[in-house]
Structure 1
Amino acid sequence: MKGTFAILILSLTLFACNGQQNSNVINFESGFSLIQDTISISVNGRMTHALEYKDKYYVLFEQRLMKYGGYGKKWLYIFSNNQLEKVIDCPEEMKTVYLDFYVQNDSIIMKPYMDKQSYYLDNTTLKWNKVDKTNDLIWEDSDFYVYSLDFGEWGGKTWFKDKKTDSQYVLESTTPLINKIDNTYYLTNSFQVLKIDNPKELTKCDSDVTYENIEKTGKNYSWYSQSKGYEVIYEDENVDYFDFSYHPRIVSSFVFNNELLHIYETDTASYLSRIENNKIQPFEKILDEVSFFNWYYSYRCKNLNGSNELLKFNTRNDQIYGLTTIKGNKIYVTYLVNDVELKPKTLGKKRSNEIFENRLNSIIADFSKLTLTEIEAKEKEWKSFDITPNHKIGIGESWNPNNYAIDINKSYLVVEDSIISNSIMYYATKKTDLVRAITINWEKTQTDRIEFGNEKSASEVFLKRFKDIVLILTNELGEPNSKNEEKKNQSFVWTTQNNINVEIKLSRQDNYNNIRMVVYERK
């Protein structure tokens, strides 16, 4: 299976890199068909949200930040007939983790969970405009409005509001996907499916627990509804909600030939499934080794207009994402193959030293005339990894004694090995394009998982690395003007003939190791 996936990814990459559209159809014995296509993209970010609207894909990408905090930029990519049609910047206010992206009243809307202010996309001008009022509607038919809220650790509620009487009926269910067969409603979550024959048999709301009142007052956890009016047709009783390790789950549900079916995901594959005797019964494998996901508090997109949601998945290749939609007996899968690397490669100590020496030569040669444009081109040539923050970072007077205006930054990362990485920051003046100061920090290599290593061993590695860097500096600049060789906090300073200060300091604490180098013009 792993070999099959590797071949698939290689094929997709080759087709995308050649600028071709690869269409592949697989007909299953169950009567379903899998139609696979690819789109080649160049995006400095990861996919977060996506929806299908009027035969187009609208996909949100977010810049991945490696350092310096803050939120990454967001872009909306619009694809038509598997071709990129338009890229639109998202409002600065949408730099948040808790974001929903959906279609309502023929408008594409972005809504932050913690803020009333939302935005809709003007279909004519393709500009974002503010919209003051949005709600938590997740389903609507001729009889009911259905609203739902997610209260985090306190669970969530779903309300059925009768269109004729305005009466509301509630149950404890957190932002489910809703499907309807005849007059019966099915509410799907990852580990549970509920059946409601008549929403009026749910608990009827008093005025203080209607959707509007709970949403207005924020009294999320003050009242819980009675468990009545619905049937649990599936529940995975083996799930521990406090265990965050992977567990097989229902990705989505949909109706085909008047039957409720499901996409069920395990750690190795995804299947078409049905429920029989309170058990998930897979009957057709559709995809190998993909991981479906939905973003935090993004739930209005699921099934608002009665058609199945556009599903999103990751693959084992960080540069390949997938979109899936089901129309009748056809399963459409579109792979987005990104030619932009989103993670830095490990370059090794030898190559890291070469980059450092090249930087040093470029910087020291004539620091007063070093332009940001020039050094950006060199960093690209050296293949360091761009980690420039979205916000301005200033420096103190001690590194900027001439009080130059610092209003633009560029930063790059070099991963030396599994222990040490170095990041360089160029502080510059936008008007003149001149670099005014530079810092380089050698720090512990960041990984995607928490690691508890031997800090004492790392401390010795940092000490050795510091000595290597000092030797390189001494060979280039001569003997330092001053030095402090204290065991845990060593420092050296050079002052060049053209009045440039180069300072380097080693800091070693019990659980922290850092080497910092600063280059700036003296007053």
Structure 2
Amino acid sequence: MSTNQFMKYIIHLFIILLLMQSCQSKEMRINFKTIEISIPGTMASSVKHNSKYYCYFETVDKKNSSAPFTDFYILNESGKIISKVPLTFANSTEYDLYIRNDSILTTPERSSLTFYLDENNKKWIKIPNATNEIYKDKKYTVVVNNESFCCDKTWFQDNATGQKYEIKAENPVVNKLNNIYYLTTKESVLKISDPKSHKLMEPFDQYYPTANTLTESEIEYSNDFSGINNFALITSFVINNQLYHLYSSDNSMKIGVVKNESLLNVQEFKSDIFPYRSTSDTRNYITENSYKTVPFTTKDPNFFGIIEIDKNQFNVITFKNLYREPIHGESKIKAWTEKNFEYFYSNFNTLSMDQIDRIEKKENALTITSEKNSNIEELSKEQRAYKKSERKYLHLLTRYDYAPDDKSVQKIQFQWGFPFSIPSRDNKKKDTNELLLLNSKSIFMKKYNWLLSFLNQKLGTPVSEEPSYSKWETKTQSVELSYSEREATLTLTLQKK
């Protein structure tokens, strides 16, 4: 190593030590807090506002559902549920949750629909569509449009003239420091001194990809090998006139600063924390650079949380989820099935989903998203599904088809199954649930014989009977009982004619 190289190394090391010292000083205070909660699912889009947490929680049933079922909760600072707010709009896999004028708003993924949270009445209210602003000051408004299927667009809009200047930056986080705009994407930090030096947008430019007009001096930092070391810039924030960057690299969370086009690590977190950025969660813009929230996950699905950046406070808030799906036991599930089948059968003509919901929720059944109905004749119906675990590896899934106008129930299905898919017969790889699968026939045939005896007693002799299949009919409704060895499921169906 030459003398010049050695001196550069010493200077570089000295800068890192100074930055690490400042990061631990009064400039940035790093705090950790753990909150115990008991809520089904895992946390999705969430924000903290006025000492309360506003959170989407997703429940996923991988075998019986193609998408997660989403609930919305308001929690106090200690994690206690203040209220659960029903979603009146269609379930989506992602939601943009953000604050405008001290109000909580949400927009489903790739949608222009906007809903306002009426906290007092515990409901979402549709309002005129919110703009896609992610930042605003006296001169410019920065807008991101990721609703287009052709491309994501980012532009600066002059507040005085309305003219737009587009920047090639995908879903950036915007900070302003010393009259310079810093745009942080997952791979780069851009330094924009004069937005007007970029391409003026024409009316139809939003339908075409943005040309790269960035100069070399405007690229503050760029990581071209982000996929190799799992690198991603999560957000950026300003403390004491210094721009910091929260990022993940080599499976750990770090805080760094950019010096001479290099990202220098000034704080590394040894704990199991993985912050992330959602491409749909972009509208929660900050005007003062002083407050941001970032969600994170961990290797344990029962631990997740929010990083709160408030002025010089860097708060890592972990939610420890104590919820565990209740195991009801075989005798309780058997009694519940007999009691409620008899009630459903006797009151089928007047049965509504409101009654069903009360019955299921009384048992703490877990609501899950049903698979989309591909039958054209069934498109006029909606479906809701509940899951109750009979034992660790066996659950009862109850599906209800109902008319959307009056919520009258049209079809009810009780289905016993395993919480995993059956492997292909051609798959010679040993399955961890192989022993359970080998015993599935005896498990389900025992239940089949119990239900057959119960239904014969209540409904009489079947009109049709085959091995592992029986059917009963009246003028207004039909009942079918079937066992599928191939799918390892036992199904009891009650349906209107």
TM-score normalised by L of structure 2: 0.71
Deviations 1:404-429 (A, max 9, x none): xx998643245765xxx543427699
Equivalent position of 2:284 in the other structure: 301
Distance 1:378 1:163 in 2: 54
Q: What is the CA distance between 1:186 and its match in structure 2? A: 0.8
Which of 498, 501, 514 pairs up with 2:488?
A: 514
Bigger mean CA offset, 363-372 vs 91-100: 363-372
Matches within 5 A, 1:321-470: 321-341=304-324, 355=330, 359-360=333-334, 363=337, 368=342, 386-387=366-367, 410-414=386-390, 421-425=394-398, 439-443=414-418, 445-446=420-421, 455=427, 462=437, 464-470=439-445
Match of 1:280 in 2: 263
Structure 1 residue 192: Cα displacement: 0.8
Distance 1:367 1:375 in 2: 12
**Structure 1 unaligned runs (5+)?**
1-26, 394-405, 485-489
Tell me, yes or no, if the aligned pair for 1:38 and 1:82 is still in contact at 8 Å.
Answer: no
Change in Cα spacing, 1:191 to 1:308, as seen in structure 2 (3 Å) is farther
- Give the one of 226, 234, 237 matched to 2:224: 237
Aligned to 1:74: 71
Name the amino acid aligned to 2:468. Answer: S
Q: 1:441 to 1:163 in 2, by over 3 A?
A: same
The SS at the match of 1:226 is: coil
Which residue in the other structure is 2:111 paired with? 115
* Displacement of 1:276: 2.7
Cα distance in 2, alignment partners of residues 171 and 231 from structure 1: 11
CA contact (8 A) 1:145 1:160 kept: yes
Note the aligned Cα RMSD (angstroms).
4.7
Report the 3-state secondary structure (helix = DSSP H, G, I; strand = E; otherwise coil) of the residue aligned with 1:92: coil
Aligned to 1:206: 202
Q: Kindly state the Cα deviation for residue 477 of structure 1 after the two structures are TM-superposed.
A: 7.3
**TM-superposition CA deviations, 1:368-417 (whole Å, max 9, x none):** 4699899969977xxxx734558999xxxxxxxxxxxx998643245765
- Distance (whole Å) between structure 2 residues aligned to residue 150 and residue 427 of structure 1: 35
Tell me the CA shift for residue 161 of structure 1: 1.9
Alpha-carbon deviations, 1:334-366, whole Å to 9, x = none? Answer: 22233223xx59x9xxxx9x72x6644665699
- What is the aligned counterpart of 1:144 among 140, 156, 160? 140
The one-letter code sitting in structure 2 at the alignment partner of 1:74 is D
Q: Distance in 1 between matches of 2:198 and 2:216?
A: 4
Q: CA 1:517/1:208 → structure 2, altered by over 3 Å: closer, same or farther?
A: closer
Tell me how far apart the structure 1 counterparts of residues 79 and 419 of structure 2 sit (CA, whole Å): 41
Is contact 2:306-2:317 (8 Å) kept? yes
Pick closer, same or farther for the CA change 1:288–1:156 going to 2, 3 Å: same
Output the amino acid matched with 2:101. Answer: N
Residue type of the alignment partner of 1:514: A
Tell me the alpha carbon deviations over residues 82-116 of structure 1, each in whole angstroms, 9 at most, x when there is no partner. Answer: 46473251541163234212122343221234333
**Letter of the 1:386 counterpart:** L
* C-alpha contact (below 8 Å) 1:270/1:285 kept by paired residues: yes
Residue 138 of structure 1: CA displacement?
1.2
Contact 2:448-2:468 within 8 A present in 1 as well: no
Aligned residue pairs total 437
1:234–1:155 Cα change, 3 Å? farther
The DSSP-based 3-state class of the residue aligned with 2:292 is: coil
Match for 1:39 among 30, 35, 38? 35
- Report % sequence identity: 19
3-state SS, counterpart of residue 310 of structure 1: strand
Which residue in 1 is equivalent to 2:405? none
